[in-house]
Each structure stands twice: as structure tokens, then as C-alpha cells.
């Protein structure tokens, strides 16, 4: 039986040098040891601290005050060491592309494996050559970094490592390969932008409710752990082939102070502008989870209608205009804190407009869904519901139909991310331009008569047919 004694366990026995006792390691001739008077203090600290210090072969020795005695001349002291002999498994034989892959994560060459391209670099789809598991490789962009590894990537990695929830994407590892650095994530076949723009796949009301529920469960987890996501939008929400939703892209996320009394300043230049809340647009720097709730409400409208609710032109003023045109201009009555915001005076709207929200959305969503959206799109962030309030809303708890996971996605052909849907849109636009050009050339060839005929056809109203 193996007995645990000191740090020596059964195995080979190694004699110590003749005449060297355990004590002789404390030899005062050792040039790396502090002088004895300084040491006395240090060692009494060690004894009192409860921390055990171990030098290989001497761990567990407690009596450091034992007097120096010459080593017994008889059998030299021995120590036992474990010799672990591992039987190596035979290396699996790889075939085809995997055999020639120079990385453990195989990906198709060139742009064929790209599934995303954003601020920090590209995201590739890859397969682990031994396990066959699909992964997403997010390349960390190093160009232009003068101070070594980018601090934004370190933040993202540290934050992701502290999270563990079914509705938050899993970071499996970080890999350095040649000169590149990658974050390795579990792979999900779709994101919400890709799914909502799919040319034929349609979500049922039950599916929509299930996606919405998972979105707020993920957010509830983050907020309870003290994390603000700060970039909630459809492209950063992944959906798996069996309908599981996971929040991704923690590039702008940060821990926040949950203690409402200890307000801290954060930058207000966060969140993709269409999803940015009015308080951020008006310069608020002491904000909390309500900013993510606003963004999530915008995503919810997209899930329900396939259209963005506030598609601005990219500028702050225009974005506020878009919001006011739907929700009406805010006032001190519905948002008492508005007057304290940094850019309130500067961006004060020239005239008041009334809300058109009910007119635009009441008929397009269920009554409970409309009520929930109205509760989230309030100007005053202090009165916006929390993620757990949202999950308690009748839309989720009582209104029919019940949430139903989108398992039908397993039969959907291909992977649908923002990247693929953009590529498809560009392809369609190219095709339309090509057709236009062709018909123009055809008309030219037909000569002036052809043009006249066309003119006549337009005039007689044939063109409208």
C-alpha cells in the first residue's frame, strides 16, 4: 500500500549525499540564505503563519529548532520518489484534410471558413481534428498594438472565464499559433441576424417566445453576477442547431458596481448605436443594467417583426430623433433625471412630438408582448424592468402560446450568421445590377426604335403590369 509520508511515496530510493542531514540544508555557508539574525524572525513567522513551506524531499518537517547532530554513520537516509510511467495511447490515424492540417483545429483555406468579421478580427469555423468537435476561432487582432497583447482581449478573456451559464457562449481555451492568437469557443451554427434574414425560414410565435426567454435568462445571469454586456444586438446573439440561444461578444463587457449608492463613471460610447439607450445618447456615464434592457427590447422588436425599431444614420442626434419619432419626446414628467444629463441642453429637441408606438406596434405583436415592450421602452432608466422582472411578465408566464424551443433548426440547410446573410444580400444586389446592365445593353442594340417602344409601353401603363 502506498503511504503518504513527507512528500515521499513508494518508488525508488535516492540516498542523500553522505553526511548531509535534512538539517544541513540550512547550512550557513549557503550564499543565498539571509543572515541568521534576519532569519530567526523570518522562521518564527513561518511557524506562526500556518503556511507550510516545502523544499523537495523535506516537506512536512516541522521541528526546525532541532539541534544539529552529526549524521548517523549507519545506513544513509533515503527518500522515495514516484516514478510515473504513462502508457501512451496510440495516436489516432488522421485521414484526408485532417491529416495534412498543421493545426489541431482544421479550417478550410482562405475566406471559406470565415463566419464573422468584426472590430477585433475574423471569426472562423473549425473542427478539432481528433475529437471532431466544431469550434469558432476568434482571431485577436494584434496589428497596431504597441503595448503587446491587447488589453481589450485580456478583459474579454478574463470575463468569459468567470462565466458559466447555458445562455452564455463558452470560451474553451486561448491558443497561440505561429504569430496569431485565437480565442476558441464552442461553435453555434447561427446568430439572430442570420436567422431573421433567412430567405425562407420563419419562426412561430412559440419559437419567438422561447428565444426571448433565453435572451433574458442570459441577461439575468450576467446582471446578477455584476456584468454589463454593453453590446447586445442581434449579431451578438448566437443560436445553435437545436434552438439554444447564447450571448456572445464580450468585447465591451465589464463588471459594474451593484451597490447603487457607490456610483461609478463608465464610458457612454458603448453599444452599437441603433441599440443605444437615450440616457447613453444624452451623455450618462453612471449607468447600470438598464442599458442592456433597452438593447434587449430593441432585439425583441426584431425577433417579432424582423425589422430594427430605431435604424438611425450612425449619428447621435439622428439616433435620438429616431427614438423620439416612435416614443415621443421625453419630458421632466416621464423622466425627472433628464435635466441632469450632460448633453440635455445641447441636444434638446426643437419641438415636441407625440408617441406613435401604439400605432406602429399594437397590431403587430400580441397584447402581452405589446405591454412588455411598452414597459421596457421607458425613458427613465430607473423605471425600466430588470431582466428577472421581464421573465415574470405575463407574456412569458400566462399568455398563449407557450415558449417552444426551435428544434426545427436542425433541418435548416447551411449556417446563418450576419456574415452569410450580408454575403447573400450583396450577391442579390450584384445579380440585380447585372440584370439591369444586360437589359440596358439589349435596349441599346435594339436601337432608337426599341427605346421608343419602351417609352410607349411606359406611357400606356404596360410597365405597371
Residue 457 CB neighbours (<10 A): 13
Residues in contact with 397: Cβ distance below 8 Å, sequence separation at least 6, in sequence order: none
Is residue 136 within 8 Å of residue 125, measured between CB atoms? yes
State the DSSP string of 8-50: B-SSEEEEPPTT--SGGGG-TT-TTSPPHHHHHHHHHHHHHH-
Least separation in angstroms between residue 384's CB and Mg ion is 24
By the rule CB under 6 A, 417 interacts with ligand ATP: yes
Window contacting Mg ion (CB under 5 A); options: 6-14, 85-93, 111-119, 320-328: 111-119
Cell numbers 549557503 correspond to 30
- Does position 295 interact with Mg ion (CB under 5 A)? The reply is no
Tell me the sheet residues that pair with 127.
106, 134
The reply to whether 123 sits near ligand ATP by the rule CB under 6 A is: yes
Indicate whether 171 belongs to the interface with ligand ATP (CB under 6 A): no
Which range in 11-19, 110-118, 221-229, 274-282 contacts ligand ATP by CB under 6 A? 110-118
3-state secondary structure of 117: strand
Identified binder of Mg ion from the candidate list 118, 206, 226, 283, rule CB under 5 A: 118
Task: Identify what 268 binds: ligand ATP, Mg ion, none; CB under 5 to 8 Å per kind.
Answer: none
Tell me which residues in 267-326 interact with ligand ATP (CB under 6 A).
Answer: none
Q: Is the peptide bond before 250 cis (omega within 30 degrees of 0)?
A: no
Q: Cβ 278 to ligand ATP, closest distance in Å?
A: 22
**Region near ligand ATP per CB under 6 A, out of 18-26, 118-126, 147-155, 214-222:** 118-126
Burial of 295 (0-12, 13-18, 19+ CB in 10 A): buried
- Report how far residue 81's alpha carbon sits from residue 76's, in angstroms, rounded to the nearest whole number: 16
Query: Do the Cβ atoms of 380 and 336 come closer than 8 Å?
Result: yes
Nearer of residues 195 and 282 to ligand ATP, judged by Cβ: 195
Q: Closer CB to ligand ATP, residue 238 or residue 297?
A: 238
* Residues 250 to 269 in contact with ligand ATP, rule: CB under 6 A: 251
Nearest approach in angstroms of CB 270 to ligand ATP is: 11
Q: Which is nearer to Mg ion, 249 or 302 (CB)?
A: 249
Q: Which residue in the block uniquely carries the three cell numbers 474579454?
A: 156
User: 296 with 271: CB under 8 angstroms?
Assistant: no
**Which of the ranges 235-243, 286-294, 342-350, 441-449 carries the binding residues for ligand ATP, by CB under 6 A?**
235-243
Kindly tell me which residue out of 249, 302, 321, 418 binds Mg ion, with binding defined by CB under 5 A. Answer: 249
Catalytic residues: 231
> Terminal CA-to-CA distance of the chain, rounded, Å?
93
| Residue with smaller CB distance to Mg ion, 252 or 293 | 252
Q: Which three cell numbers stand for residue 293?
A: 434592457
**275: CB partners within 8 A, 6+ apart:** 232, 233, 294, 295, 298, 299
Which residues of this protein are in contact with ligand ATP, per CB under 6 A? 115-116, 118-120, 123, 136, 138, 169, 185-188, 191, 235-236, 238, 248-249, 251, 417-419
Residues that bind Mg ion in the complex, under the rule CB under 5 A: 118, 236, 249
Amino acid at each position: 500500500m502506498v503511504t503518504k509520508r513527507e512528500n515521499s511515496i513508494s518508488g525508488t530510493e535516492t540516498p542523500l549525499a553522505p553526511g548531509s542531514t535534512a538539517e544541513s540544508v540550512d547550512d550557513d555557508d549557503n550564499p543565498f540564505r539571509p543572515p541568521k539574525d534576519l532569519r530567526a524572525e523570518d522562521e518564527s513567522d513561518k511557524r506562526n503563519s500556518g503556511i507550510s513551506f516545502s523544499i523537495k524531499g523535506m516537506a512536512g518537517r516541522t521541528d526546525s529548532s532541532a539541534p544539529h547532530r552529526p549524521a548517523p554513520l549507519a545506513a544513509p537516509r533515503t527518500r522515495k520518489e514516484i516514478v510515473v510511467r504513462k502508457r501512451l495511447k496510440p495516436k489516432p490515424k488522421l485521414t484526408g484534410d485532417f491529416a495534412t492540417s498543421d493545426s489541431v483545429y482544421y479550417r478550410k483555406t482562405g475566406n471559406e471558413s470565415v463566419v464573422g468579421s468584426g472590430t477585433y478580427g475574423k471569426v472562423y469555423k473549425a473542427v478539432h481534428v481528433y475529437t471532431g468537435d466544431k469550434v469558432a476561432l476568434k482571431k485577436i487582432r494584434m496589428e497596431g498594438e504597441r503595448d503587446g497583447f491587447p488589453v481589450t482581449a485580456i478583459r474579454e478573456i478574463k470575463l468569459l472565464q468567470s462565466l458559466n451559464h447555458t445562455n452564455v457562449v463558452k470560451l474553451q481555451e486561448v491558443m497561440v499559433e505561429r504569430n496569431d492568437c485565437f480565442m476558441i469557443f464552442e461553435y453555434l451554427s447561427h446568430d439572430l441576424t442570420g436567422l431573421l434574414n433567412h430567405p425562407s425560414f420563419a419562426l412561430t410565435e412559440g419559437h419567438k417566445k422561447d428565444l426571448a426567454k433565453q435572451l433574458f435568462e442570459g441577461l439575468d445571469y450576467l446582471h446578477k453576477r455584476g456584468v454589463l454586456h454593453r453590446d447586445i444586438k442581434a449579431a451578438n446573439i448566437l443560436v445553435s442547431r437545436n434552438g439554444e440561444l447564447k450571448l456572445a461578444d464580450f468585447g465591451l463587457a465589464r463588471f459594474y458596481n451593484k451597490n447603487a449608492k457607490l456610483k461609478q463613471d463608465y464610458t457612454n460610447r458603448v453599444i452599437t448605436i441603433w441599440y443605444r439607450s437615450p440616457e447613453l445618447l444624452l451623455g450618462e456615464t453612471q449607468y447600470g443594467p438598464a442599458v442592456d434592457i433597452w438593447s434587449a427590447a430593441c432585439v425583441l422588436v426584431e425577433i417579432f417583426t424582423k425589422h430594427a425599431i430605431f435604424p438611425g444614420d450612425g449619428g447621435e442626434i439622428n439616433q435620438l430623433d429616431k427614438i423620439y419619432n416612435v416614443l415621443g419626446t421625453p419630458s421632466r414628467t416621464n423622466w425627472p433625471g433628464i435635466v441632469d444629463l450632460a448633453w440635455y441642453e445641447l441636444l434638446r429637441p426643437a419641438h415636441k412630438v407625440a408617441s406613435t408606438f401604439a400605432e406602429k406596434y399594437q397590431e403587430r405583436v400580441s397584447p402581452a408582448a405589446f405591454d412588455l415592450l411598452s414597459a421596457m421602452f421607458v425613458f427613465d432608466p430607473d423605471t425600466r424592468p430588470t431582466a428577472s422582472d421581464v421573465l415574470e411578465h405575463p407574456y412569458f408566464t400566462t399568455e398563449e402560446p407557450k415558449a417552444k424551443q426551435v428544434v426545427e433548426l436542425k433541418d435548416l440547410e447551411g449556417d446563418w450568421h450576419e456574415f452569410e446573410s450580408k454575403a447573400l444580400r450583396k450577391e442579390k444586389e450584384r445579380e440585380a445590377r447585372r440584370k439591369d446592365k444586360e437589359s440596358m445593353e439589349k435596349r441599346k442594340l435594339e436601337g432608337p426604335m426599341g427605346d421608343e417602344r419602351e417609352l410607349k409601353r411606359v406611357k400606356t401603363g404596360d410597365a405597371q403590369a
